[in-house]
Structure 1
Amino acid sequence: MVEVTAVKTLRHDLIIDTDPGVDDVVALLVALASPEALNVLAITTVAGNVRVEKTSRNACLAREWAGREQVPVYAGAARPLQRAPIYAEDIHGQEGLPGFCVQEPRQGLATGGAVEHLIDILSKAEPHSITLAMLGPQTNLALALRQAPDIVRGIREVVVMGGAQTMGGNITPTAEFNLYADPHAAEVVLASGARVVYLSLDVTHRILTSEARFRQLATLGNRAGALVVAILQAYVAADMERYGLSGGPVHDACVIAYLLQPELFRGRPVHMSVDCHEGPTFGQARIEGGRGSGLSANVLWIENGDPQGVFDLLCARLARLG
């Protein structure tokens, strides 16, 4: 099996689709602190870790904390394409930000919905020009592709936090939460013909917090560092206990780290599908590839990375904020 290392790319025109959630907030702060590499055109929100009203509020708060209130936030889908909604309040708390007293943001949502905005901006974009960072269920993009399939021409790549293989699932023994929450949406995106990159639990469960890395964040001496430490410490404890890990993963921040420094990660081309049939493997990412499989690759599956390199990058970007 051939291992593929990602190649460093130029600046991204970026839309972040997200369901904040703790690790989503960390990802948003890092992305918004990196304007020379990531031109964030918009943030679109979806129900996932908590209900869409709360994910939208939390995205607006992250934008405010980053000092980037000119970036529009559009509220999106409140429920999956087909399945009953599920949430991750047991991990992210009732408000999506454990360890932090949530307040209302100074600035609210942009006018219009996430799906309509995706269709509008992608239909007008130059071919293969816009990157989408998908940090939650892929419902918004799936709805946009169903309504206007030709918008795929405007997509440079779709970089997804989702799926699991060697590390097992985090919502069932086989399924990762984002795919389990809306597997039908993930299948729509896979079928669209867009270039798709997956950062799965295989890699995010290798890039873990530690006491030394918390100290690294705390010594930034700014509000962003203190905020990230506060919300992460409450968040990672559950995964540490569940998996017996020495630290906790910061899943969605790995997507932004990949966009900023893909050379920190390693992956391989695979053929991927998602189990959409009710049963014990519902929501599972099914990976096939290699010689003799007869299936063409449709995903770059990222499965390993440099943990300290990622945390050094996150800290360097968070240090830029107030």
Structure 2
Amino acid sequence: MAPKKIIIDTDPGIDDILAILLALSAKPEELEVLLISLTFGNIEVRSCLRNVVSMFHILEREMQWRREKGLPEGFGALRKSPPIVAVGAEDPLEDQKMLADYFHGVDGLGGIHASHPHLTPEETWEHLFDPSADPEEVEPVRTGAGSSPSFIPSKRQAHEEILRILGENDPDTITLVAVGPLTNLAKAAAADAETFLRVKEVVVMGGAINEPGNVTPGAEFNAYADAFAAARVYALTSPSPKSTLPTGTSLPDYPANLSKQLTLRIFPLDITHRHGIKRGQFRQTVAPLLEKGSPLAEWVSAFMTHSFKTVEELHTGNEGDESELSLHDPVCVWYAMTAEDEKWKPSKSSPEDIRIETTGQWTRGLCVVDRRNRHRIEGDEESASDHGLWLSSRAGNRVWRMDASPAENNKFGEILLEKLFT
């Protein structure tokens, strides 16, 4: 059986890096990471790029260390097929930019580039992403002593690279895992909606339905950071995208007659908060590897120490070995790896008409759900009793909201640690 193909659109970020590591740790027959496309979000997009390149640098050192110790190298998906890396959106479509450096640190990894400079490669690779150069000239990059390239830099914008890869692969063969603001996806869909709809499904970490938000009382960060982009991507799930498409953006409307609806599967805070890793659990796995000199253990431990400390400062009663970090983004990658597991379940009401608020003073990024017990209405015209076409059978979004997984609470933390370190 051919490996599953995925694109990861991301803003690394601490849990983003854990998500990418999880994907690259897969066996080569399980998964192929075609593209890592970068967006602003947790931090500025150029800092996201430095974090990803640093990750590849560490992985090369880790695999060399494992070879020298007579251990299995791991990270088979990476060794078989180095992914393309492309830089994308620097700003949201319309909103004022907000970053999450208050949690992730100014550099996105808890200040690791200043505190552990020996773990950061020299920035001699930046010119490889220069868009003014010929986009066809690509050079596989080795960031360490390994004999194989770690990644392939792209000079194209991330949304252009997404469309190129979707266009060159068979329809319904690529899952796009989006764990940051959806700006790159919105740009790709606006540029060529039909090519974008060749994707098998889009898996999104974003939103909050019955849980409080994490940046406002109602909004989760990714949905808040570019609410217009999220609303535009969600609109592609509708039988009539114009019924939920936000106005006021510089991007064009979608064509009137699209060939299909987007399959969009969201992982809101409601489910991701049930997948965490505790400080004691992490230390128990990593401490022996630190003593033996594992580069990956040293690198991950450095930014996870920052994460657990920040969690303690933000949340009361979350202290010591019980301090717990939610694994928001890795859950989405894990779904892409194991989607056939019957224990993955959407909400009983899925697909749901979930819309993203774009213009509210206090509600930007809010997931709006119709909780009224009302009869459906045939047709696609507004009526006095249905402003916004919430009851129409021919309008509104159709979003799959994931509600259960094969391993919740600290069980997923164990799975992640095993994949990365053993």
Shorter-chain TM band: 0.7 to 0.9
SS of the residue 2:197 aligns to = helix
Quote the Cα distance in structure 2 between the aligned partners of 1:289 and 1:39: 40
Q: Deviations over 1:203-231 (max 9, x none)?
A: 22222222332134315724333432321
Q: 1:60 to 1:290 in 2, by over 3 A?
A: farther
Q: Which residue of 2 aligns with 1:6?
A: none
1:171 equivalent in alignment to 2:215: yes
Q: 1:205 to 1:198 in 2, by over 3 A?
A: same
Q: Deviations over 1:41-97 (max 9, x none)?
A: 011000111111111121222233334483221000111111121111111111111
Q: Which residue of 1 aligns with 2:409?
A: 307
Q: Deviations over 1:115-136 (max 9, x none)?
A: 1111211122211111111010
Quote the Cα distance in structure 2 between the aligned partners of 1:290 and 1:64: 52
2:227 to 180, 183, 186: 183
Please tell me whether the aligned partners of residues 28 and 62 of structure 1 are also in contact (alpha carbons under 8 angstroms): no
1:42 equivalent in alignment to 2:35: yes
SS of the residue 1:54 aligns to = helix
1:122 to 152, 155, 166: 166
Please tell me whether the aligned partners of residues 130 and 156 of structure 1 are also in contact (alpha carbons under 8 angstroms): yes
2:305 to 223, 233, 237: 233
Q: Which residue of 2 aligns with 1:197?
A: 265
Runs of 5+ in structure 2 lacking a partner?
61-77, 127-152, 237-260, 377-390
Quote the Cα distance in structure 1 between the aligned partners of 2:202 and 2:372: 23
Aligned letter for 1:65?
Answer: I
SS of the residue 2:277 aligns to = coil
Quote the Cα distance in structure 1 between the aligned partners of 2:308 and 2:372: 35
Quote the Cα distance in structure 1 between the aligned partners of 2:288 and 2:222: 31
- TM-score using structure 1 length: 0.88
2:338 to 261, 269, 278: 261
Quote the Cα distance in structure 2 between the aligned partners of 1:135 and 1:106: 28
Quote the Cα distance in structure 1 between the aligned partners of 2:375 and 2:226: 27
Quote the Cα distance in structure 1 between the aligned partners of 2:369 and 2:53: 36
Aligned letter for 1:308?
Answer: N
Quote the Cα distance in structure 2 between the aligned partners of 1:116 and 1:87: 24
Q: Deviations over 1:10-35 (max 9, x none)?
A: 84211111001111111111111113
Aligned letter for 1:279?
Answer: Q
Aligned letter for 2:25?
Answer: A
Quote the Cα distance in structure 1 between the aligned partners of 2:284 and 2:353: 38
Quote the Cα distance in structure 1 between the aligned partners of 2:400 and 2:287: 35
Q: CA deviation at 1:290?
A: 9.5
**Percent identity between the aligned chains?**
30
For the aligned residue pairs, the C-alpha RMSD in angstroms reads 2.5
Q: 1:215 to 1:236 in 2, by over 3 A?
A: closer
Quote the Cα distance in structure 2 between the aligned partners of 1:189 and 1:220: 44
Query: Pairwise mapping of residues 66-77 of structure 1 onto structure 2 (< 5 A)?
Result: 66-67=59-60, 68=78, 70-77=82-89
Q: Which moved more, 1:56-65 or 1:37-46?
A: 56-65
Q: 1:288 to 1:226 in 2, by over 3 A?
A: farther
SS of the residue 1:66 aligns to = helix
Q: Deviations over 1:113-171 (max 9, x none)?
A: 11111121112221111111101001001001001011133201111111112321111
Aligned letter for 1:100?
Answer: I
2:365 to 246, 258, 283: 283
Please tell me whether the aligned partners of residues 163 and 196 of structure 2 are also in contact (alpha carbons under 8 angstroms): no
Q: Which has the larger radius of gyration?
A: 2
1:21 to 9, 13, 31: 13
Higher relative contact order (CA 8 A, sep 6+): 1
Q: 1:314 to 1:220 in 2, by over 3 A?
A: farther
1:59 equivalent in alignment to 2:52: yes
Q: 1:111 to 1:280 in 2, by over 3 A?
A: same
Q: Deviations over 1:221-262 (max 9, x none)?
A: 243334323212312433344343441212111111222234
Q: Which moved more, 1:44-53 or 1:283-292?
A: 283-292
Q: Which moved more, 1:138-147 or 1:306-315?
A: 306-315
Q: 1:318 to 1:46 in 2, by over 3 A?
A: same
SS of the residue 2:324 aligns to = coil
Q: Which moved more, 1:84-93 or 1:67-76?
A: 67-76
Quote the Cα distance in structure 2 between the aligned partners of 1:217 and 1:97: 20
Q: Which residue of 1 aligns with 2:388?
A: none
Q: Which residue of 1 aligns with 2:91?
A: 79
Q: Which moved more, 1:225-234 or 1:147-156?
A: 225-234
Q: 1:289 to 1:151 in 2, by over 3 A?
A: farther
